[in-house]
Amino acid sequence: MTKRPAPTPALTVATALLALPLLSGCLSTAASVVTAPVRVAGKAVDWTTTSQSEADEKRGRNLRRREEELGKLDRQYQKHLRQCRSGDEDACLRSRDDYARIQALSPSVPYERR
């Protein structure tokens, strides 16, 4: 068997430099595989948690819905009250029911000073 001469350092460096473009795809794939679990975990946390702005938007929607309901009840109450003053006994009962519902809903709607 013949003995091969040991590669020179320059030859080793040259070989490594020539192989680098061939390995760059492997390195980026390896980096993607390594960081994939971190990215997946980050997305899962984003899906399961509610940001402060999302919570504020939801709270605002609920508040507007209650304000709309309170306005509707107040208009209905005023209408039934007018009818009651005109002598309609059924309207008097409906106005009392409307007033009770307004009183039940009012604590959930903040008071705004003007």
State the Cα–Cα distance between residues 80 and 78, nearest whole angstrom: 6
pLDDT by residue, tens only, the chain of 114 residues: 567 766 676 666 666 666 666 656 665 666 666 676 767 777 776 666 777 888 888 888 998 999 999 999 999 999 999 999 999 999 999 999 999 999 998 887 776 666
Q: What is the pLDDT of residue 97?
A: 94
Q: How far apart are CA 16 and CA 18, in angstroms?
A: 5
Question: How big is the chain by its Cα radius of gyration, in Å?
Answer: 37
Looking at residue 35, its pLDDT comes to: 72
Q: What is the pLDDT of residue 69?
A: 92
Considering the entire predicted model, what is its pTM? Answer: 0.52
Structure tokens at 30: 């390896």
Query: Collapsing DSSP states into helix, strand and coil, what is residue 65?
Result: helix
pLDDT value for 82: 94
